Amino acid sequence: MFKVVQESLNETKHEACIVGIFERQSALGGVLAAWDEQLNGQLTALLKEGDLSPKRKQIAKIHTLGQLNIKRLYFVGLGKESDLTFDGLREAIGRLFKMLKGEKLTEAAVALDTFITENLDASEAAHAFAEAFALATYQFVGYKQKSNEPEKKLEEMTVYTAADPKEVEVSLLVGSVYGRATNSARTLVNTPSNLLTATDLADYAVELARKYKFEYEVLEKAEMEKLGMGALLAVNKGSSEPPKMIVLKYQGKEAWENVIALVGKGVTFDTGGYSIKTKDGIVGMKTDMAGAAAVLGAMEIIGELRPEQNVIAVIPATDNLISADAFRPDDVITSMSGKTIEIKNTDAEGRLILADAITYAKHHGANYIIDVATLTGGVIIALGVHTTGALTNHEEMFEQLLEASVETGECIWRLPITEKDKERVRNSPIADLNNSPGREGHAIMGGAFLAEFAENTPWVHLDIAGTSVTSKDHDLGPAGATGVMVRTLATFVERFQ
């Protein structure tokens, strides 16, 4: 897809070239100056007249009418040079690539050095380009009848730079891997639940394990019964589809120590059970396995880049349906940890399956745990749809995860767990825990419940109920699944100390 060269842009023919321009750019330099001269000063004139806008995310297309070896120039406005961030560059490039989808180009050049600033080097710019290309051009193919006409796609980009080509190539590869893995998660979340059962999710994970040589394990219902996974089994009782406990193990160190567990909620469809959702609220519940998808996407990146870390992915997978056998409010169940749980709300099922998954992650030697889940509507009320909610029992670990989220542009915000919150979760007259103490602080209650199973193991909970899908197209993708937390989890693993 990407080819890095150090020769002059003027020496090779291209269908198009992508160039960055900044506000208050006093004069055109480098290759832009050479093109301006060949075009009789027209670029300078267009810049002065405002037809080439350097404002951030403004895109301008110029036809060269045979005066250059390049047929079309695409100028990307980047705003003030001092204000440009990695995230800002990625969004601006994403907007360009969304526009280029309709241009029917098959190849293009990139003048990478026009995007470099004092704060962003060539490697960072290359990563942003590759990641933005994958994310912005993603499309869920769906199930409509297809046209037989072959679709023209941008399949080759030649990146021109004076920087070390090997470093740029590595960054392009990493950016592509991050983008593709996020898209893999998006596709899983966008897939209808009748085509993505717990068994299908397990099969996907096994394929991933075989591709990247992970150790893997898929527990069946009988094995779960022997291990006492009463919380996961309770949620599955209403279903004709068998549950799965999926485990992927990546060992990047000689000894199995300092193990990071990534635990993802895999509810493939959620009716709410007997605490049934409304007719509007039930639509879209195929996305309730976005936590599992995020973990599988992160494992794809880990498999590609092979960090020197030990990682275990644990995914409890089932749907939550209604039948004569389904679990009910007022039931008492026993989790794998031995803790008993009074069921007040069968729609608070995600925390139940995660409880057994967290316990099983510790059984496999997890020293650090991050769980990811579309857990509560309450997090949307608290933080909206652009920010993931987080709760933790470990300051240092959370700070490292926060740094990773800032680096990837996936905003998270910490919510508190107080002693009174813990008391509410433990407030049951007949069991150790109550799975739904009330609507007040709903997102916090979900996290406080999971903290009872993490116990003293350093742990962070990420509630992606608001950020896992979007109703609008955006610079880095279409409406639908976002693949949120794939890149943050992978970056955390890579950087963790």
Task: Compute the distance between CA of residue 292 and CA of residue 247 in angstroms, rounded to an integer.
Answer: 11
How do the domains of the chain map onto residue ranges?
2-142+151-162, 184-495
pLDDT value at 454 more than 90: yes
State both tokens at 392.
Answer: 């933790």
For the residues 198-224, what does the mean pLDDT come to? Answer: 98
Helix (H) or strand (E) holding 425: helix 419-425
User: Which DSSP category does 52 fall into?
Assistant: S
> pLDDT at residue 478 above 80?
yes
SS3 459: strand
> pLDDT category, 1, cuts 50, 70, 90?
confident
Q: Is residue 220 marked as binding?
A: no
The band of 26, judged by pLDDT with boundaries at 50, 70 and 90, is: low
* Rounded Cα distance, 183 and 83, in Å: 29
Q: What is the mean pLDDT of residues 369-395?
A: 98
Distance CA(90)–CA(200), nearest Å, equals 33
Average pLDDT, the chain: 95
Beta bridge partners of 108: 157
The residues pairing with 311 across neighbouring beta strands, listed in sequence order, are: 250, 260
User: Sign of torsion, CA 266 270 272 274?
Assistant: negative
Helix %, strand %, coil % for the chain, to 5?
40, 20, 40
Annotated ligand binding at 349? The verdict is yes
Q: 224: pLDDT confidence band, cut at 50, 70 and 90?
A: very high
Using a 10 angstrom Cβ sphere, with 0-12 exposed, 13-18 middle and 19 or more buried, the burial of residue 288 is buried
- Beta strands 433-434 and 340-342 are parallel
How sure is the predictor about 25, in pLDDT bands with cuts at 50, 70 and 90? Answer: low
Ordered DSSP codes for 65-122: TTSSSEEEEEEEE---GGG--HHHHHHHHHHHHHHHTTTT-SEEEEEGGGG--SSS-H
The rounded percent of the chain whose pLDDT value lies above 90 is 90
Distance in angstroms (rounded) separating the CA atoms of residues 80 and 449? 46
Q: What is the pTM (predicted TM-score) of this model?
A: 0.97
- For residue 362, name the pLDDT band (cuts at 50, 70, 90): very high
Task: Tell me what the mean pLDDT of segment 455-479 comes to.
Answer: 98
Q: What is the pLDDT of residue 190?
A: 98
Percent pLDDT > 70 in the chain is 99
Angle in degrees, 0-180, between the axes of helices 86-100 and 122-136, rounded to the nearest 10 = 40
Class of 184-495 in CATH: alpha beta
Q: Is 270 annotated as a binding residue?
A: yes
* Residues classed as catalytic: 277, 351
**Per-residue pLDDT tens for 156-201?**
999 999 999 999 999 999 999 999 999 999 999 999 999 999 999 9
Q: pLDDT tens digits for 106-152?
A: 999 999 999 999 999 999 999 999 999 999 999 999 998 876 666 77
CATH of 2-142+151-162, one of 3.40.50.720, 3.40.220.10, 3.90.1660.10, 3.40.190.10: 3.40.220.10
**Annotated binding residue 347:** yes
- CB atoms closer than 10 angstroms to residue 192: 11
